[in-house]
Amino acid sequence: MIYIYNDYGGTHTTSLAAAIHLQILKPPFTSLSKEEILAVPYFNKLSKKDFGTFIFHGKDAEGNSVYTLGRKSQNLVIPSLLNFGILLLKHFKVEERIIFSNTSPTVPISMSLGGFLAKGLKLNRIGVPLLVMGAQKCVDHIHELVENTKRTALTPTHEKIIVLENKQYKI
């Protein structure tokens, strides 16, 4: 199984999702500190040059690979990756399942603003506190999203590639 958590930038909610999936962050999340959030691998550390790059975060307890992807527009990238994945799986006769899980719905406005200020305008003194506040607000939703992603991945189906929009986690 290959898990790919994706959103616009690939550095905030996706990094949190990967950290939760890999049990780097563990519940309860009610007291997640600024230091814990900023210590999450790749959290607020990627830039525009990283768009479209699969970032490997590690293998989970079951040996499944966990990646993140900053994809900018989902309208073009995910359908293209879906079709390319199908082509590769057929050509190489691979039996592995690929799960694309969109973390964008979990992004609160404070995280959007913080990301724009910190990454877009390089105003970290203003942007980073907003990112931390946003992470504290959405981490429970991301945890639910990750657990649902894992459950869906284990659900028997003939589909080798599954795309989860996760609209039910909209903040």
Residue spans per domain, the chain:
2-106+140-169
Beta strand 2-7 pairing with 98-102: parallel
What ranges make up the beta strands (E) of the chain?
2-7, 54-59, 65-70, 98-102, 161-164
Provide the residue-wise pLDDT of the chain in tens; the chain has 171 residues.
999 999 999 999 999 999 999 999 998 887 899 999 999 999 999 998 999 999 999 999 999 999 999 998 767 788 889 899 989 888 888 888 999 999 999 999 999 999 999 999 999 999 999 999 999 999 999 999 999 999 999 999 999 999 999 999 998
Q: Is the pTM of this model over 0.75?
A: yes
Output Rg (C-alpha) for the chain, integer angstroms: 16
Phi, psi (deg, nearest 5) at residue 55: -105, 115
